[in-house]
Structure 1
Amino acid sequence: MPIDLLSDEELLSQLQQGKRDAFNQIYERYYSLLYAHAYRKLQSKEEVRDILQNLFIHIWNNRENIIIHSSLSSYLYTSVRNRILNFIRDTKVREQYMASIQEFSEKGENLIESQLQEKELIRIVEQEVALLPPQMRLIFEMSRNLEMSHQEIADELNISPLTVRTQVRNALRILRVKLGTHIFTIFF
């Protein structure tokens, strides 16, 4: 009997015996139908070709172990559907991964740049604070770094709270001039 007249079951049986003609007939019988089915889902000729090529390679490589509980056509359509779903899932995962890398890259660069700028600004502020007169610097650092009140600083240093307030105000005025208003408002 000519190979093109064999039923799917007979073709499958011959395929399992390693007969290439049976494989070729299955390919010819179903390729265009499977292609149309897959193309409706993916709308990408290259991806559909890849999926079908991988399916038929899988069928040939596993021909001896293929067990089909339904019809050959059902098996092929289900296989194509599953491969399409896997492709879509993998594509979404890949796209999400690429988007997250892009986002991390953009935010990471900005974050690193911001951290470097912040460190540089802190260094500049600390440098300017260090240039204040010693008593003024001590009072200013107690006020800002130790968060002591004017009264606590006055008690600690045995000076009047008014002197503490004047020294802090003078330190802020000097820093505002040296650092500029923008940097000054960020830190104080």
Structure 2
Amino acid sequence: MQVKPEYIQLSDLELSTLLSEGDEIAYTEIYNRYHGALYIHVFNKLRHREDSRDIVHDLFISLWNKREQLVLKTTLSSYLYTAVRYKVFDLISHRDVASRYVESVSGFSEQEDGMTDHTIREKQFLAIIEQEIAALPKKMRAIFELSRNGNLSHKEIAAQLELSEKTVKKQINNSLKILRKKLGTALFTAFIL
């Protein structure tokens, strides 16, 4: 969506008021104003491009979805930076949980001196994950596999499949939500890491 020149001149407070009224152009201007800086901020914390993109993308999806309840007690920039900081904390927390889970499984495996058992479980986990990926809708699965297995960026996938980058981001986001729900948090987190 093209931003009108007069929107560029608006203050953050004016933009947030228009956003809460459902103004898509105001939302686009907020996105254009803060997306790059928020991405750099997150990347400096995580040092992971894809995770940084996903967190900023999720933040803007959340901002739009909750626009009607948006009540700023501070500046818009403070609100966005605080929200993105919490998303980074959540991701790190989930990684810690997954790491402890993997360590406990490894510890159990070593205690029992059962590398065969560990290998069997790992193969079972992988089979379950592959089954759930195969159950994704065809277009979503293709995009997801190019992202995760092909290590392609959203832009590269969009070019290869002749789709918009926004469609690719949405499909990957949706596939992750589906997999998280079907695999459960522990298995999903172990898979993502």
Structure 1 position 89, deviation (Å):
1.1
Question: Aligned-residue CA RMSD in angstroms?
Answer: 1.8
Structure 1 position 30, deviation (Å):
0.2
1:97 is aligned, of 95, 101, 112, to 101
Is 1:32 the counterpart of 2:56? The answer is no
Which residue number in structure 2 is paired with residue 80 of structure 1? 84
Is 1:47 the counterpart of 2:51? The answer is yes
Amino acid aligned to 1:61: N
- Following superposition, which runs of at least 4 residues in structure 1 exceed 3 angstroms of deviation? none
Residue correspondences, number: 112
Distance (whole Å) between structure 1 residues aligned to residue 79 and residue 58 of structure 2? 15
Distance (whole Å) between structure 2 residues aligned to residue 62 and residue 110 of structure 1? 49
Structure 1 position 62, deviation (Å):
0.5
1:75-114 Cα shifts (integer Å, max 9, x gaps): 0011111111111111111111111112212323449x9x
Distance (whole Å) between structure 1 residues aligned to residue 108 and residue 57 of structure 2? 36
Distance (whole Å) between structure 1 residues aligned to residue 28 and residue 85 of structure 2? 21
Which residue number in structure 1 is paired with residue 171 of structure 2? none
Larger radius of gyration: 1
Distance (whole Å) between structure 2 residues aligned to residue 108 and residue 95 of structure 1? 20
Q: In structure 1, list runs of 5 or more residues that go unmatched.
A: 114-188
SS across alignment from 1:88: helix
Amino acid aligned to 1:103: G
Which residue number in structure 2 is paired with residue 63 of structure 1? 67
1:113-169 Cα shifts (integer Å, max 9, x gaps): 9xxxxxxxxxxxxxxxxxxxxxxxxxxxxxxxxxxxxxxxxxxxxxxxxxxxxxxxx
Structure 1 position 44, deviation (Å):
0.3
Relative contact order: is structure 1 or structure 2 higher (C-alpha 8 Å, sep ≥ 6)?
2
Which residue number in structure 2 is paired with residue 12 of structure 1? 16
TM-score by length of 1: 0.56
TM-score by length of 2: 0.55
Matches within 5 A, 1:107-122: 107-110=111-114
Structure 1 position 26, deviation (Å):
0.4
Matches within 5 A, 1:133-152: none
